[in-house]
């Protein structure tokens, strides 16, 4: 039961971070389908830092955690600029660009890791990065429960996101650009600037979510696998949470629970006796996602101007 709780919280943390990232982007008026690719690039940045750090020899866990997070968010933010430039400046189709980013992210990360591994050892052509010892810096054992520092970071960022979105001028202006950009522009708000901010924040949170995901249960990651559809699952969490950070966090707990079951179901006798193939448990979050969206999509209220390129001449 403790293990189930542990995995539920960490997977919920991933979904919360990435879904709130998508929330900021869509509130500004840009649909970010590319969260999957952003997660992969963020995971790559954080994994590279862990791979080449001298922890535990250095003994400085705090520095490793800080640098890993910094690399993840920087990689995520820089990669998100592809979406921003293409969709805000060149008014490209946001859905197509997002899908392209997802494919490019996994492919680029795979090529980079394979090239790095081959350079270090010509016989190693895998796309895997190991961080066995480095991962221990993120964990604190609390009587059988492994507390991950990313759990605390997620709670802090959740609170900050709520405050930023609803209690600051920046957040209110961001939402205005996603609801009626022409009206926002008429009172002196730069729609382009707000949309860039929204997309970059989504890159920040999506990149961080990527490194949290790949370190959640394993000590190495094969980048050919991407992030197993978690970016799309985060989009479902965002929609189910009605684009509101506090509701997104609650929705993430539901989806995180079903994802956690695939990791620990063998620890429950009544589940093990059912002899259900492990693949079914892996599919559960996505099946639940389809069911939930089927029954709630009609009541969803997305920002009115999301997905619509801003045109100063429109009224």
Average pLDDT, the chain: 92
Stretch 107-111: mean pLDDT, rounded? 97
- How many Cβ atoms are within 10 Å of 146's Cβ, its own excluded? 15
Please check whether residue 308 lies inside any domain of the structure: no
Instruction: Please determine, for residue 299, whether its predicted confidence score (pLDDT) is greater than 80.
Output: no
- How many Cβ atoms are within 10 Å of 59's Cβ, its own excluded? 10
- Tens digit of each residue's pLDDT (9 = 90 or more) over 220-248: 999 999 998 999 999 999 999 999 999 99
Q: Which two tokens stand for residue 228?
A: 């197993």
Domain that holds residue 76: 2-299
Instruction: Please determine, for residue 266, whether its predicted confidence score (pLDDT) is greater than 80.
Output: no
Identify the band that residue 270 occupies on the pLDDT scale cut at 50, 70 and 90. low
Please check whether residue 309 lies inside any domain of the structure: no
What is the pLDDT, as a whole number, of residue 276? Answer: 74
- Tens digit of each residue's pLDDT (9 = 90 or more) over 123-176: 999 999 999 999 999 999 988 889 999 999 999 999 999 999 999 999 999 999
- How many Cβ atoms are within 10 Å of 226's Cβ, its own excluded? 23
Please check whether residue 310 lies inside any domain of the structure: no
Please check whether residue 205 lies inside any domain of the structure: yes
What is the pLDDT, as a whole number, of residue 265? Answer: 66
Please check whether residue 278 lies inside any domain of the structure: yes
- Tens digit of each residue's pLDDT (9 = 90 or more) over 175-209: 999 999 999 999 999 999 999 999 999 999 999 99
What is the CATH number for 178? Answer: 1.10.3470
What is the pLDDT, as a whole number, of residue 314? Answer: 66
Please check whether residue 41 lies inside any domain of the structure: yes
Instruction: Please determine, for residue 293, whether its predicted confidence score (pLDDT) is greater than 90.
Output: no
Please check whether residue 215 lies inside any domain of the structure: yes
Identify the band that residue 114 occupies on the pLDDT scale cut at 50, 70 and 90. very high
The angle formed by the CA atoms of residues 190, 191 and 192, to the nearest 5 degrees, is 95
How does 201-221 read in b/e, with b if 16+ C-beta sit within 10 Å? bbbbbbbbbbbbbbbbeeeeb
Number of domains in the chain: 1
Please check whether residue 40 lies inside any domain of the structure: yes
Helix 149-167, helix 2-28: angle, nearest 10: 30
- Tens digit of each residue's pLDDT (9 = 90 or more) over 35-47: 999 999 999 999 9
State pTM to two decimals: 0.95
Site of tokens 């999301």: 306
């Amino acid at each position: 039961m403790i293990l189930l709780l542990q995995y539920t919280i960490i997977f919920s943390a991933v979904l919360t971070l990435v879904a709130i990232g998508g929330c900021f982007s869509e509130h500004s008026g840009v649909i970010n389908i590319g969260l999957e690719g952003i997660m992969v690039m963020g995971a790559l940045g954080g994994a590279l830092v862990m791979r080449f750090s001298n922890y535990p020899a250095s003994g400085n866990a705090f520095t490793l955690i800080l640098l890993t997070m910094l690399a993840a968010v920087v990689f995520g933010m820089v990669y998100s600029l592809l979406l921003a430039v293409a969709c805000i400046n060149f008014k490209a189709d946001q859905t197509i660009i997002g899908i392209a980013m997802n494919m490019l992210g996994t492919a680029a990360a795979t090529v980079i890791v394979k090239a790095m591994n081959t350079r270090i050892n010509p016989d190693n052509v895998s796309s895997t990065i190991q961080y066995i010892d480095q991962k221990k810096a993120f964990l604190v054992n609390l009587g059988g429960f492994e507390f991950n520092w990313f759990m605390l970071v997620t709670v802090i960022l959740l609170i900050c996101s709520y405050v930023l979105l609803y209690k600051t001028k920046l957040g209110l202006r961001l939402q205005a650009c996603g609801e009626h950009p022409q009206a926002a522009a008429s009172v002196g708000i730069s729609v382009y600037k707000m949309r860039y901010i929204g997309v970059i924040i989504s890159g920040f949170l999506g990149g961080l979510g990527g490194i949290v995901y790949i370190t959640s249960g394993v000590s190495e990651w094969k980048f050919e696998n991407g992030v197993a559809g978690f970016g799309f699952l985060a989009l479902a969490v965002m929609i189910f949470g009605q684009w509101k950070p506090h509701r997104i966090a609650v929705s993430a707990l539901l989806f995180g629970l079903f994802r956690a079951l695939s990791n620990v179901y063998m620890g429950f006798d009544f589940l093990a006796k059912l002899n259900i193939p492990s693949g079914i448990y892996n599919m559960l979050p996505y099946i639940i996602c389809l069911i939930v969206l089927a029954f709630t999509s009609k009541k969803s209220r997305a920002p009115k101007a999301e997905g619509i390129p801003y045109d100063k001449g429109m009224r």
